[in-house]
Amino acid sequence: MAGEKQGPLDQFTIKPLVQIDIGGADLSFTNSSLAMLITVASVSLFLVVGMGRGRLVPGRWQSMAELSYEFVAGLLKETVGNEGRRYFPWIFTLFMFILFGNMLGMIPSAFTFTSHIVVTFAMALVVFTFVTLLAIAKHRLHFFSFFVPPGAPKLMWPLLIPIEVISYLSRPVSLSVRLFANMLAGHTLLKVFAGFVVALGAAGVVPLLFIVALTGLEILIAFLQAYVFTILTCLYINDALHLH
Amino acid sequence: MPQLQQIDTFLSQVVWLVLAFVVLFVVLRTIALPKIQATLEARRDRIEGDLDRAQTLRQEAEQVLAEYEAAMAEGRDRAQSVIRDAVEDGKARAAKAHDALAGRLADDIRHAEARIETARDEAVGNIREVAVDVVQAASQRLIGGRIARKSAADAVDAVAGR
């Protein structure tokens, strides 16, 4: 790689670290896989070690662990209500996984696995499939009334129902693209301006300062996108449980 | 863009994603979440227990205060009635003593007046005797003859009666 010209998009390249081939399928352990495992380890450590013996009066770290729990629990309660409690472990895992994936990606030269559309789309598709199956299991055929806006005149149905169906089917796309595009754009922008720092010489201080500010913004976005992904998942679950 | 070009890595990414996510889920579900829940519940129970205990203690304190005030009021009433009885008793005894003393004094005055009366009568009687004696003695000196006691007494009575 040394001496090779690096573009702003090269940071997203998947590099196999350990070649694994099972039945002709390439399941190599890559830098993306490594980032995922680091995320899993970090979340586990953050929560398990942070909770320690679970003191009655928490320290800072334990407070943060409890805060993350109560944040997601509050989110779920607000959007879904008490029925949502049974989905809490999944929602919490989802939130922590995306949050730590995004945050660890902010460490310079770290890999951000959430910047890959296939990863975000896989997650969104699982959410979408789960929510749809949940709705059908709960409401049977009545589920399809979800595509009819309440109170709409019958005359409008031929127009409204396709719109509703399309908007429902586009959920996994918007959910995955939102996270992917935010991560992609942020990291690309950082690298583009980082390139300017070197190119401009002494005047490179200006883009450097910009990068500092942008890094702060990106950290905010890293949190925000994890939050958005989670709250939308909660809203979809709410739709599935209550329709409309 | 590697995201759309490295299609041959898609399977690996998804497989590792599922693996990582499931591992994280299992770790959180079995270790982290029960721990956090237990801690939060323990804290909530502790706080609620403390609040309950505070409530009970407060009620007890209020009850004790009410009992204390009742006892105080009762004691005050009893003290008032004791004082009232004592005052009335004292007044009655003082009146009785006063009456007795007044009676005794009246008796004493009556006796004294009677004694004074007799003493005066006696003194008045004696004065007559003395006057008769004086008349007899004076007439003896003046006329050289002794006059009868009877005459002297008549003379004295005549002068005293004037």
> Which pLDDT belongs to residue A2?
42
- pLDDT (average), residues B145-157: 81
Q: What confidence tens digit (pLDDT) does each residue in A133-148 have?
A: 999 999 888 888 888 8
> Which pLDDT belongs to residue A40?
96
Could A47 and B32 be called an inter-chain contact, meaning their C-beta atoms sit closer than 8 Å? yes
Could B17 and A29 be called an inter-chain contact, meaning their C-beta atoms sit closer than 8 Å? no
Residue B21 near chain A (CB below 8 Å): yes
> Which pLDDT belongs to residue B96?
95
Q: What confidence tens digit (pLDDT) does each residue in B63-113 have?
A: 999 999 999 999 999 999 999 999 999 999 999 999 999 999 999 999 999
Could A13 and B6 be called an inter-chain contact, meaning their C-beta atoms sit closer than 8 Å? yes
CA distance B70 to chain A (A): 43
> Which pLDDT belongs to residue A1?
39
> Which pLDDT belongs to residue A145?
84
**Cα gap B28→A233, rounded to integer Å:** 19
- Say which residue, A75 or A201, is predicted with more confidence: A75
- Say which residue, B144 or B36, is predicted with more confidence: B36
CB nearest to A26's CB, from B12, B20, B23:
B12
pLDDT exceeds cutoff 60 at A218: yes
Could A40 and B24 be called an inter-chain contact, meaning their C-beta atoms sit closer than 8 Å? yes
pLDDT exceeds cutoff 90 at A149: no
Could you tell me if A175 and A232 are in contact, meaning their C-beta atoms sit under 8 angstroms apart? yes
Residue B30 near chain A (CB below 8 Å): no
ipTM of the complex: 0.89
b/e per residue B125-153 (b: at least 16 CB within 10 A): eeeeeebbeebbeebeeeeeeeeeeeebb
- Say which residue, B75 or A198, is predicted with more confidence: B75
Provide the whole-model pTM.
0.74
Residue B119 near chain A (CB below 8 Å): no
> Which pLDDT belongs to residue B127?
83
> Which pLDDT belongs to residue B124?
82
CB nearest to B20's CB, from A39, A55, A90:
A39
Residue A4 banded pLDDT, cuts 50, 70, 90:
low
Q: CB neighbours of A20 closer than 8 A, spacing ≥ 6?
A: A26, A27, A28, A29, B12
Percent of chain A with pLDDT over 70: 98
User: Three-state SS across A128-195?
Assistant: HHHHHHHHHHHHHHHHHHHHCCCCCCHHHHHHHHHHHHHHHHCHHHHHHHHHHHHHHHHHHHHHHHHH
Partners of residue B46 in chain A, C-beta under 8 Å: 56
pLDDT exceeds cutoff 70 at B50: yes
Residue B5 near chain A (CB below 8 Å): no
**Cα gap B37→A37, rounded to integer Å:** 25
- pLDDT (average), residues A59-79: 93
Q: Which of B13, B26, B27 is most worth mutating to test chain A (most A CB atoms within 10 A of its CB)?
A: B13
Q: Beta-carbon neighbour count of residue A46 at 10 Å? A: 17
Q: What confidence tens digit (pLDDT) does each residue in B23-42 have?
A: 999 999 999 999 999 999 99
Q: CB neighbours of A62 closer than 8 A, spacing ≥ 6?
A: A50, A51, A52, A54, A55, B39
pLDDT exceeds cutoff 70 at B125: yes
Q: What confidence tens digit (pLDDT) does each residue in A152-192 have?
A: 788 888 888 899 999 999 999 999 999 999 999 999 999 99
Residue A74 banded pLDDT, cuts 50, 70, 90:
very high
Match 């969104």 to its residue by tokens.
A124
> Which pLDDT belongs to residue A24?
81
b/e per residue A224-233 (b: at least 16 CB within 10 A): ebbbbbbbbb
**Cα gap A120→B17, rounded to integer Å:** 10
- pLDDT (average), residues B10-16: 92
CB nearest to A47's CB, from B18, B28, B46:
B28
Comparing alpha-carbon positions, the chain B residue that sits nearest to A96 is B24
Could A27 and B10 be called an inter-chain contact, meaning their C-beta atoms sit closer than 8 Å? no
Domain ranges of chain B: 10-160
pLDDT exceeds cutoff 50 at A3: no
- pLDDT (average), residues A77-83: 91
Q: What confidence tens digit (pLDDT) does each residue in A8-20 have?
A: 888 888 888 888 8
